[in-house]
Chain A
Amino acid sequence: MSEGSDSGAVAAGVPTPRSSIYFDGLTNRRHAVALRFGAKLDITEDGVDIASWPYDDLRMVDGGPGTLRIKSVSALPLARLEVFDPAAQTQITGHARFLRIERGGPAHTGRIVAWSLAAIASIFLVVVYGMPLAADRLTPLIPLSFDRHLGAIADNQVRVIFGGRTCTNAQGRAAFSKLVETVRQASRLDVPLQTEVLNSPVPNAFALPGGKIYLLNGLLQKAQNADELAGVVAHEMGHVSHRDHTRMMIQRGGVSFLIGLLWGDITGSAAVIFVTRTLFEVSYSREAEQNADAFAIAAMHALGRSPAPMGELLFRITGAEKSHTIGILASHPLTEDRRELMRHEDRPATGLEILSDDEWQALKTICRPANAR
């Protein structure tokens, strides 16, 4: 057995010492071999030719420190020649033209980068254009009962947050119902609505999917007349009518699904994900807000009332925003722009007052207990 020795005697007529090890691809037996560089690379063990590899078939593989390890594409897949002698290594690199053809170079890396960038561009396009389009097309296909499911989930959360502080003054409720019903009929919204006033100092109002609209007492107290309030309620009805929540959920779900699956395991991309999602959600919700405003303006016109008071109410709540908000990052259109738009749509009143003075006073005090009046 010629197992192992690296420094065997030089076989007759062989120019290189036995400084190479050959594995035949059948067993892991170590053949101490000598190399002869003729028309092909001849591998001889104890003077006997055991393999002959054409130079053009030689390929370099990983071989460890100071070792040139090669395979031959025409030999058995695992046949290997390990060359330790630097002179023999130089000989081989000189003869074999395609030695490094399977080792990636800069062009190879460039291709990976190019394809990756193409993939990123494609994903970006899907997120920015594909998802909104898909959401717009899918939303009408989803039954309204799904909106009500979503609304029920959100409603549970609202109840937890506000602790069921519903304002129950009977006269106030009657006035509120009248206002809501008037606006609903004017805007021809045929979704059954559930509306409540919640006793919270936050000046806000919001709609839940499926037709639930909450008005917070803070906003009610800032309102100076029924027209202002009617505009806000109409705006929320716009969200319900456009099914913005469902649309938003499809989009958000789609985007986080796509990005999360592809890059979910990469913390470094968290920033990228955050930025893309924020920018895209913001631009989306701005569009939704503008549409809801348009809905509110149309409803007020149908009532024969001016939408301008709504703009004044909004401005009263937020104040000027332009100075401290970067326009592109704001999730709502800037209040001064909205007020400007609504002033622009101002028409002389042709319709009846929405609420009488008594009804308006009752609505303002809806959150006081009945006996306190």
Chain B
Amino acid sequence: MNDVAQIRTLVRQSQSIAFTGERRDFFRLVRRGALLELITAGFYRFWLATDIRRSLWSGTLVDGHAPEYTGTAKELLIGFLFALAILVPVYLLYFLIGIEAERAKAFASIPLVLFFYAFAQFAIFRARRYRATRTVWRGARFWMSGSGWAYSWRACLWDLVVLLTLGLALPWRESALERYKMRHLNYGDLPACFEGTGWALFKRGWWLWLLSLPIVTLPFTYPAYKAVLWRWWVCGIRFGEVRFESDLRTGGLMGLYWAVIGWTTLGPHRRRYCDRGCDLGGDVFRRQTRRCKCHAVVFAPAPIPGPWREYRELPCLSIVHWRDQASLSHPRSLGTRRHIRQRPRS
């Protein structure tokens, strides 16, 4: 308890972000959830995803207060059923068209792939909107406006441009899409926006594009790109005067990714890679390194789509990743806006 109070005071004084979650608790949670998921043939995934988010949210101290995740598994289940309602008729229609098209020897699968791609972009936006809306911090709620389909066609057009420019347009895609998402995000009555530019990201990452040209280097450049992207993203976020900086190190993230690759490819050495993964990244408050138990992963049968996949499959690495992302991000001028009102009722 003393410990916790100390951490809280430290975080408050430095107006910073810290992750205080216990690895052991997190593994227990994932292991239990994965087991239940096996028993329920996957239906438990909604409850597990909710539990994981609740645990990560409440383990993160921002200016001394942990955010609260108020989403429920039932909402995820209903969302899944809605997605089915959209996808089933499309699937059926495609099936009938496919029979005709196959006969005419047309390349029939493309339209469906395109639709699913657009739908995935829609889902990405709606997933972020859902998570934002269900996040409460200091008694005020985040919320998002904007339309999933408007985001989806923007994303698809940008992807076309990226494809045509062999990836060179990627920074501008990221910044345009992030601007769309962030300008529709609000904390109470405080609107957020995004000030990162495509050019800034290009300047930080152009050498990675060059290094990626021989495709074999991708396993090295991808994590480096992710680290660059994260730092650029964090320092582009604005909530009024509030801004952030990130010290997330490329090497640390690279190590994590390699631990993931090692984990998934080198069966017999799992334990070793996993431990190494857990040791990565500086622990601000707890100097002692705990050996992590990763056998939870063995039971985790089902990746769920979206950014939570890694948190499911690799609890050991994911919690480290989350902690690094949180504790290496530094808010600036967090104290400037202290009287945020709730979302104005329309």
Contacts and interface: CB of A to CB of B under 8 A. Distances in A.
Interface in B26-68: 36-45, 47, 54, 57-61, 65-66, 68
B231 interface: no
Nearest to A115: B43
A266 B43 CA distance: 10
A65 B59 contact: yes
A116 B40 contact: yes
Contacts of A80: 68, 136, 139
Interface string A289-325: 0000000000000000000000000000000000000
Interface stretch (B152-160, B197-205, B241-249, B298-306): B298-306
Interface residues of B, number: 60
A277 to B, nearest CB: 15
A315 to B, nearest CB: 38
B328 to A, nearest CB: 19
B140 A78 contact: yes
- What is the interface residue range for chain A against chain B? 35 or more
B103 A149 contact: yes
Interface string B85-120: 001100110010001101101000000000000000
A28 B138 contact: yes
B4 interface: yes
Given A28-B188, A66-B5, A263-B42, A78 B139 contact: yes
B342 A263 contact: no
Majority secondary structure, A binding face: mixed
Contacts of A65: 4, 7, 20-21, 59, 61, 66
A257 B61 CA distance: 45
Nearest to B58: A62
A67 B139 contact: no
Contact of B1 (A66, A112, A257): A66
Given A78-B342, A112-B44, A116-B41, A25 B301 contact: no
Given A27-B188, A113-B40, A152 B139 contact: no
Interface of A: 3-4, 6, 21, 23-30, 61-67, 69, 78-80, 82, 84, 86, 109, 112-113, 115-117, 119-120, 149-150, 152-153, 156, 253, 257, 261, 263, 265-269, 272
Given A66-B1, A117-B39, A269-B301, 12 more contacts: A6-B12, A28-B138, A28-B339, A64-B60, A69-B68, A79-B139, A80-B136, A80-B139, A152-B103, A265-B304, A266-B42, A267-B302
24 contacts: A27-B339, A61-B68, A62-B66, A62-B69, A64-B66, A65-B66, A66-B1, A66-B8, A67-B4, A67-B66, A78-B141, A80-B136, A82-B65, A86-B1, A109-B47, A112-B36, A112-B47, A156-B105, A261-B84, A261-B88, A265-B304, A266-B302, A266-B303, A267-B303
